[in-house]
Amino acid sequence: MVAGCVLLSLFAGRLVQLQGLDASTYAVTASQIGRITETLPADRGDILDRNGAPLAQAVEAYHVWVDQTEVTNPARYALQLEDILDDDAATLQEKLTGDRRYVYVAKSVSGSVWREIQALKLAGIGADNAEVRAYPAGAVGGSVIGFIGSDGTALAGLELSQDNQLAGEDGQVVYRRSPTGQRIPTGPVARQDPVTGSGLRLTIDRDLQWHAEQVLADAVDNARADGGVAVVLQLEPDAHEIVALASVPSVDPNDPNELEPADRGSRAVEEAYEPGSVFKPLTMAALIEEGVAGAESVYSVPDRIRRSGHTIRDYYNHPEQQMTLTGILAKSSNVGTLLATEAIGKDTFHEYLDRFGIGSATGIGLPAETSGRLPADMSDLTRDNVSFGQGVSVNAVQMASAYAAIANGGVRIDPTLISATIGADGQETPTEGAEPVRVVSEETAAEISEMMEAVMGEGGTGSGSTVDGYRVAGKTGTAQRIDPDCGCYRQFNSSFMGFAPADDPKYVVVVSVMNPRNGNSGSGLAGPAFADILRFALEGTGVQPSQEDPPRLPLFADEITTDDDANDADANDADANDADATADDPDQTDDDTTIDGEPPDGAAGENEPSGGPAP
């Protein structure tokens, strides 16, 4: 009896513990037995071009799985699934055979394929929703759009930088399973629906993007270059919209592993380089705005000059010439540019370049954008170098934005790549742009535009890249590029930039070819691509041809006259006498800067701040 009482008291104590003291703990533990939580992935938002054409979109897809314990005849299952899944029966039979409760048979199959499988009513076969991203345009805009990994992780381009908007919020469903793995239909179920991510409407025009990429790829191949970039801005009254942003090589988001990781981004924002003579219009805008020079100001220009122990020279040998500021730009004289720039204070010069956006990231929304480099403290030599585009580094979008400021009457508007976000209900919310910045006066911008038209005229370095029917304001450039192997100037970048129609600008086009091996002329290598892309943009959108001829500005002092007929005669004489000053040979550098082969103090190499060579 004593032993019985002791035993019963132990039972009683245990019951008090279970049902009284620890009841809530055990209730929670019991509630988790057989409890299964599954994630319901959210669809990513679509990425559309300006006209609504899809560049990236979520598509219906499923991961098909099998409970092997419910498959009574794996061979029969395999034969039924072989044609639907486009897989051999032997491989499928191996996946279907065994005692595992959850094995993938096929991943990321389309909705139509899964519905065919459902129609077979095979016991033990199920499917889960899958996150699948499709890129209908393939490689078109691939360096801009980016891509996601097989696990749904955003890895590059807008997919990465705008992931918070595109990804949405995953949901979840909670249910119970029996000890044999079957879902209990009467068990309590909790469900939180996923929230679809916001879509993006870009300013990119898919057709123009395709054309720009094709033309740029041909230019890179012809030049045997490492790569190239092309930027097209469409000038709207209150926005400068990027309608094409091409990089070569270009990644196909459907198969990004075809390219090395370093080539999968957008060179147009990621690669900083010394622009060379395409920088000169910005310099001359500062000079004219400060009132220290005008289009017809005359300078005595030798073909080379010593500065701070370095020799700076023009791309062609010539006697000392009496050149106008327009002629310095049209002939792309480095010596003339630095002589004119000495009239402006270094701090003032720096301020103008800062207003043009040099040294500041454009913020268009792509990852890994470089801000380039604008030296904060300029020595005399650095000021000289920067005046003609060395000792400073930029990305291609920055240069397009700076040229757009000139085309826009001296007002810079930050370029736009994303025009709106698109909610799950289809409602669009326009993106807000930054405040416009007045860089130079409208009069100065107009004068620079006319000077750039002279670059495209007779005797100018860009005369071979005009567009029939349209007045074009442009500039050539061949910039020395630091070779990291020697830390010296041994490579080149060749560029052509401009806008049209010059009398009513609608488009800005920038083309740069990186490290060409088949010559280095900006006019010869980048010029044809510039003209082709600009023509396609103008004609494709129905821009009316120019109605008036461009003004003819004197390039040399002896051409300055008030008599138009005498002006024409003097210009012809000047062309004949100074034939050696033209740049018609496409194999010749049109504005190559040589500084004794070594980067001076303050030079900025590719992706390198002032003061040393690229690593």
| Active site (catalytic) residues | 277
Neighbouring CB atoms inside 10 A of 80's CB total 17
- Phi, then psi, of 344 in degrees rounded to 5: -115, 145
CB 95 within 8 A of CB 105: yes
Residue 190, amino acid: A
Residue 585, amino acid: D
Tell me the C-alpha distance between 114 and 468, whole Å.
56
Residue 196, amino acid: T
CB 382 within 8 A of CB 602: yes
Q: How far is CA 110 from CA 77, 253, 493, in A?
A: 19, 19, 46
Q: Which two tokens stand for residue 234?
A: 């469409």
Q: How far is CA 583 from CA 317, 372, 522, 590, 592, in A?
A: 12, 30, 11, 6, 11
Neighbouring CB atoms inside 10 A of 62's CB total 22
Tell me the C-alpha distance between 85 and 61, whole Å.
13
Sign of CA dihedral 256, 257, 259, 264: positive
Tell me the C-alpha distance between 475 and 308, whole Å.
28
Tell me the C-alpha distance between 465 and 590, whole Å.
13
Q: Which of 260, 250, 253 is nearest to 217 (CA)?
A: 250
Q: Are strands 473-483 and 488-500 parallel, antiparallel or unpaired?
A: antiparallel
Residue 253, helix vs strand vs coil = coil
Tell me the C-alpha distance between 476 and 519, whole Å.
14
Tell me the C-alpha distance between 474 and 384, whole Å.
22
CB 177 within 8 A of CB 163: no
* Cβ neighbourhood burial of 525 (10 Å; 0-12, 13-18, 19+): buried
Residue with tokens 């990119």: 204
Tell me the C-alpha distance between 15 and 422, whole Å.
60
Count of alpha carbons within 13 Å of 529, Cβ hemisphere only?
34
Residue 344, helix vs strand vs coil = coil
H helix runs in 356-431, sequence order: 380-387, 396-407
Q: How far is CA 265 from CA 133, 179, 253, 301, 366, in A?
A: 18, 50, 11, 43, 9
